[in-house]
Amino acid sequence: MRLHVAIISDQSLPTVIPCLMDRPDVVVLVASRAMEGKARRLQALLHTEGLAAEIRDLAPDAGLVAIRASASALSRDLATAWPDAELVFNATGGTKLMTLGFVDVFRKRAAQIIYTDTAHGRIEVIADRRQADPQPVPMRDVLDVPRYLAVQGFRYADDATRHALKLERIDARREAARFLADRAPGLSGLIALVNALAHRALDETGKELIQPEQRLTREPRGEVPKALALFERARLMTRKGPVTVRFADVEAARFLGGGWLEE
């Protein structure tokens, strides 16, 4: 059997995408106290996809000694419950200290350690027992619109025109929303990039714009320049340089962070 272990953080896509690609027999979601609610939502989502998912909560998110002890206890529990499982540890989520502590422990136990690079559309394989020099795995298009919406915590509504109070706002952004919606199955990397930038711009509640200027990891290529131009025309953001964008306001950041699907 195949077992995925992932630490939950604010960004859910890096956890969900490898699970939908690999479809393991069991997914273990490791959650700190602050991430318990998000873990429950992800568990429910994975269940709807036919994947068994368990939550291991109250994991420490600070103090390396405590983090390593928690990771070691989890590793022992998993070895007892599924002694023959091929374990894949997803090192994308959690605080940096949590990631370091868990990788240190699971390097001895895991068949694979992976990192979800949504910005570049691939799964990086940090370690693989079967390969000395493992290569990255291209992301497959596993997120249709309803799935993507569910991962982001929105409710899918297929007829946005019913919401009369939103019509004026939607009209101003129609072209950008159509661009994203029509191309969603083939542009998971672009959508994940825009989503990550928007969430970094907002505070934890999503109600305040705290860092309106955001930097891309590299100069835009492919469909990204076209998308950014559309967002500028819709007055969602402005380009401040080759790799810097500025969100117009809270509403714009929330829209590009997944709200376009709700509408």
For residue 188, give its domain range. Answer: 145-262
CATH classification at residue 214: 1.10.10.680
Give 2-42 pLDDT, tens digit per residue. 999 999 998 899 999 999 999 999 999 999 999 998 999 99
Same domain, 166 and 132: no
Which pLDDT tens digit goes with each residue over 80-123?
A: 999 999 999 999 999 999 999 999 999 999 999 999 998 889 99
Split into its structural domains, the chain has a count of: 2
| CA distances (Å), origin 94, targets 90, 98, 111 | 10, 6, 20
CA separation, residue 258 to residues 40, 58, 144, 165 (Å): 20, 28, 13, 19
Q: What is the CATH number of the domain that holds 61?
A: 3.40.50.10770
Name 27's bridge partners.
4, 53
Q: Do 88 and 130 have their domain in common?
A: yes
DSSP letter string, 243-263: SEEEE-SHHHHHIIIIIHHH-
- At 205, is the pLDDT very low, low, confident or very high (cuts 50, 70, 90)? confident
From 112, 138, 164, the end of a domain falls on 138
Q: Is the pTM here over 0.85, yes or no?
A: no
On whether both 6 and 119 belong to a single domain, the answer is yes
